[in-house]
Amino acid sequence: MAVNVISTTKAPGAVGPYSQAIQAGDFLFASGQIPINPEKGKIVGGGVAAQAEQCMKNVGAILEEAGLSYDNVVKTTVYLTNMNFFGAVNTVYAQYFKKNLPARSCVEISKLPKDVFIEVEVIAYCGK
């Protein structure tokens, strides 16, 4: 089985000892993306909707680097620091997944890196 590291400057670099994504066989496993603007290296302001938008853009950049799109995503996990953000995040999330809706988990946790409101990770199918 081939294993490839996926890396792009169009998404924030890892803030620890991990890869942005790993393609293993027919699947891509993307690390959780927080709302860092990769051009500025800063957390986006504007609340949870703006942060969700940046997370999704970061995920999209990683998918693109691997030659994939949101249509290839089969599973997402969304981490929120407050479940009251669920509706606002769903509104943003729905703009990115239109064809085959992936399976999803959404959980509230007490804290995320850099005190952001949201983190999104995905698994995508790379096979034919």
More confident residue, 33 or 127: 33
Domain region containing 86:
3-125
Q: Which of 22, 49, 61, 106 is catalytic?
A: 106
Number of domains in the chain: 1
Give me the CATH number covering residue 61.
3.30.1330.40
pLDDT at position 15 over 90: no
Cα dihedral sign, 71-96-104-55: positive
Specify the pTM: 0.95
Q: Is there a catalytic annotation at residue 106? A: yes
User: Cβ distance 80 to 109 under 8 Å?
Assistant: yes
pLDDT one-digit tens code per residue, 85-104: 999 999 999 999 988 899 99
Pairing of strands 21-24, 3-6: antiparallel
